[in-house]
Structure formats: structure tokens, C-alpha cells
Chains A and B, each alone.
Chain A
Amino acid sequence: MDSIISGFVKAFSLIFHLDKELLGIIFLSLKVSGLALIIAAAIGLPFGAIIGLRRFYGRDLIISVLNTFMGLPPVVVGLSLYLILSRSGPLGFMGLLYTPSAMATAQSILAFPIVASLCHSAIVSVDPIIKQASVTLGATPLQVTITIMKEARYGIMSGVIAAFGRVMAEVGAILIVGGNIAGYTRVMTTTIALETDKGNFELALALGIVLLAISLMINMVLHYVQKLGVRTK
């Protein structure tokens, strides 16, 4: 009990003193996850749109695979990516292992199925009459696609935010490909893991509280977005 209370005390003192190292760790977390999200969204949204809008052979299989991959174990992703990025692996020449870029890559792999799958669900739940209305008002196929994606925007945004929440809280993959190097690839979750290992429970808990606070903010935004979507339906 004592350590929980002192964890909270330490958390608030860390936050209010804007500890420089802590800020660096928080910003790196946001940066890595933000970058991962941009990559995942840049690939996942068009991908989700295609499987949401087009009918083609193997589509059902792709949807099942995507839904399965939403629960990809981060350590498996981390290990696979480690073997690929390792100097002895196929992409070793790029020298990406133990860099923030490698971490962002791992997280975008984790985020991609979430973004694509939720984007797909959001799009298929758009009333088919929207597509027809768009066509009859003179939209080109591309304009139709954009219109449908705009209609599905709240669902799509929920997906993107859910993915952000997942990667922010992730530790297994980035620990393996990032190496948890102080001041370089050390983010909130890996710091928590390390400090727990070292027995610095207060610091670990303090960081956990910061992480929770960020998750809370993300979820509040998510809830707000979902409410917007419901209100106008």
C-alpha cells in the first residue's frame, strides 16, 4: 500500500516538476507511436477502403486474416522484425535495429490491422444509398470513394485512435527492436519495465500513471468522436 501511495506522490512531483528526462521519454513515446500511426494510417486506410468498397476474390479471407492480426502478439512481431533488421538479416544493411525508426516500424505493423480492419467495418456500415446518391449527383469513382470515407469518418477515427492507444501501451515489440537504450530508444513502457526490474517501483508507477493519463485523454477524445457520430445519426 505504501508503495502505491508514494508512487502517486512521486508521479505528481515528477509531472509538476516537468523532469527533463521524463519529458524526453514521454515525447519519444509520442513521437514513435505518432509516426507509427501515420505510417499505419497511410497504408491501412486505403487498404481498409479497398476491402470495404470492392468485391474481389479472396476478400473474405483477407478480412479474417486482418481480424486475427488485430491481436498479433507484440513479442512475435518484435522478434520477427529483429531477425529481419538484424545485421545478419535480410534488411540488416539499413542499420535500423535499435533505432526509433525500428520501433515505429514495429508499432505500425501492430497498428496496421487495427486501422485497416476498423476502417473496413466503418465503411461497410455506411448505408449503400450514400454510394448511389453520390453517383447520381455526378461523382467519379474516386469522388464516390472519398464521399463514402467521409461518411465513415467517425468510425475511421475511432479505429485510428484505438490503434494509437494500443501502440502507446505496447512494450514487447519495441523492447526487442529498440533495445531500451537510455536517451535514444527508451520510451514510457520500456522504462516502466526496466524500473520495475530494478525495483524502482515508485518511478515505474509514476510513469504508469502518466501513461494512464495519456490513455485517458486518448479515450476521452475517442468517446467524444463516437458521441459526435451517434448524435448526427
Chain B
Amino acid sequence: MRLFKSLLLSVLVLSVVSVPAVSAETRIRCASTTSTQNSGLFDYILPIFEKKTGIKVDVVGVGTGAALEIGKRGDCDVVFVHAEEFELKALKEGYFVNRYDVMYNDFIIIGPSNDLAKIKDMKSASDAFKRITETNYFFVSRGDRSGTHIKELSIWKKAGIEPKGQKWYLEVGQGMEKTQRVANEKKAYTLTDRGTWLATKDKDKLEMSIVLEGDPILFNQYGIMAVNPERHRHVKYKEAMEFVIWIISQEGQKAIADFKDKNSNQLFIPNAK
């Protein structure tokens, strides 16, 4: 009995004492996408920024849709996402201020290495999508309103096809890497970003290859913008802008360019103007 009491007590005391003391350091919150977070970019660039300014950036990684929503509700100070159309809309609605292009990578269509649907000689993403629907192969979709998903939907729209509910269309509602793995298992095609593809294809032993790249529609622009302080008084606008300015500065842009994945691939190309 006594043993148990002291055991329970020590567990509780331990858990309370082990509270990492929240120090007086300044922290801002950045809502970003899971793909950006999973790429490891933040782990590389944020320490550089923190060392320079003393500002700690807490990254909340969610889907692009959720990231914008979090920003609109005032639950973060800055958003760093890749869905230009939606970003500009939210900017116009007055939820955000000071949007800047930061960097890009591009989307690619990947499929089974033997490419039975014969996409490889095509140039247009929407034509490739059409071809996939005419064959018997599955198309795996993120289905999570992420930037990738939104891009995918715009390609379907351009192709004039409504994929939702079709039996060859698999909406998995998962992150990019998982989606790739599902596509691999199903011998299916999918839309992915080059960063995730380069970082994971060997590790996950994907028996897939790039079947289409280079179509301008596949361009994936990342933007950063601060939450409008007039709408949400509590946001740390000043610090958020310090981060925005830094990331589009020469130093920030160099850090992005320097970031390499495990296989020494550069995942993002800085293009702040």
C-alpha cells in the first residue's frame, strides 16, 4: 500500500516537476504544411534565425487548408504555405498582410516504373490525367485539402473530369509520403511534390518513377504572410515580420538553398523577389 502510494506520488511529482520551464524568450507561431515540416526544412533554417534574433518559431504542421484557417482565426502569427490562389484570396479578405513569394519546388506525376498507361511521352499534366482515367489504373489522391490536393483538383478541372466517387479514384486523406506508399502498393499513379519524392523514394523502396514533369501547371510556389494585427490584436506582428523579412532576405534565401535532404538533394529553390 505504502509502496503504491509513494510510487503514484513520485510519478505525479515527476510529471509536474519535469515541466520544461517556459522561459521569457520570445516565441512566435508559424502555421505551415506537413509536407514542409516533414521535409526537415524548418529544423535546418529555424535555428539559424533563432540564433540571429533570439526569436523561437513554433511550427504547427497541418494541411494548407487548416494552416490558413488557423491564421484566419488568429491562432498563429504567420503562415507559410503553398496554395497561392487561396493565399491571395485570404489576403484580399483582410486576414493577412505582407505576402511574399519565398521559394518553390514542383509537382510531378509518378507511377509504376513500367508505366503501363504510357504517360512518359506526354507533356501536359491534364492530358496525362485523362489518359489515366481511360486505362484501368488507380489514381491515389491526398484527399485532405492540402496544397498538393488543391493542385491536383485544379488539374482535374482543366482536364474536364470529375474524379470524386469514381472507382479508380482513391482518396486516402493522408500525408504525401503515405499517399506515395499507397500508390506504390496499388501500382497506381499519383501527384506528388519533388521534395517528398526525392527524400523518400529510396527509403520507402518505391517501385515507381517520374512519368511527367515540367508542365507549368505543376509549379509549386510557397508564400509567407503575417496575420493581420488589425484583425487580431494579440498577434506578435513585429516578431512575425522579422521572420518574414529574414526569410526573404539574402541570408534566409541562402539557408533555404543550402538545405539538403539525406541524399544531398536540394528540395526547394528560393525565389523571393
A/B: CB atoms within 8 Å of each other: yes
Contacts of A157 in B (CB 8 A): 4, 8
The answer to whether B58 and A184 touch across the interface, beta carbons within 8 angstroms, is yes
B74 touches A24 (CB 8 A): no
B1 at the interface (CB under 8 A from A): yes
| B14-22, B157-165, B213-221, B245-253 - interface stretch | B14-22
Tell me, rounded to whole Å, the shortest Cβ–Cβ distance linking B58 to chain A.
4
Identify B16's interface contact among A35, A89, A180, A224, CB under 8 A: A35
Asked if B11 and A34 sit within 8 Å, CB to CB, the answer is yes
Contacts A31-B16, A34-B16, A197-B175; is A92 near B59 (CB within 8 Å)? no
Contacts between chains A and B (CB distance < 8 A), count: 89
- The verdict on A24 contacting B178 (CB below 8 Å), with A95-B234, A97-B75 known, is no
- Which residues of the partner chain B approach A87 to less than 8 Å between Cβ atoms? 73-75, 232, 234
Within 8 A of A (CB), among B30-70: 34, 37-38, 43, 58-61
Cα(A182)–Cα(B43), bound, Å:
9
Cβ contacts A161-192/B at 8 Å (1 or 0 each): 00000000000000000011111100000000
Within 8 Å of chain B (Cβ to Cβ): is A225?
Answer: yes
On whether the beta carbons of A34 and B74 are closer than 8 Å, the reply is: no
Also in contact, A197 and B73, with CB within 8 A (given A24-B20, A30-B11, A30-B18)? no
Task: Report whether B38 and A224 are in contact in the complex, using a CB–CB cutoff of 8 Å.
Answer: no
- The reply to whether the CB of B12 lies closer than 8 angstroms to some CB of chain A is yes
Could you say which residues of chain B place their CB within 8 Å of the CB of A33? Answer: 15
Range, interface on chain B: 35 or more
The interface residues of chain A lying within 8 Å CB-to-CB of B204 are 199
In the complex, the answer to whether B73 meets A35 with C-beta atoms within 8 Å is: no
Given the complex, which residues of A lie within 8 Å of B74, measured CB to CB?
86-88, 92
The yes or no answer to B7 lying at the interface (CB within 8 A) is yes
CB distance from B111 to the nearest CB of A (A): 20
| Residue on B nearest A175 in the bound complex, by CB | B62
Using A27-B18, A228-B1 as known contacts, say yes or no to A37 and B34 having CB atoms under 8 A apart. no
A residues near B, CB below 8 A? 24, 27-28, 30-35, 37-38, 86-89, 92, 95, 97-98, 100, 157, 179-184, 194, 197-199, 221, 224-225, 228
Given contacts A28-B18, A98-B29, A184-B27, 12 further A-B contacts (CB under 8 A): A24-B20, A27-B15, A28-B20, A34-B12, A88-B74, A98-B58, A98-B60, A100-B19, A182-B59, A194-B37, A221-B8, A224-B4
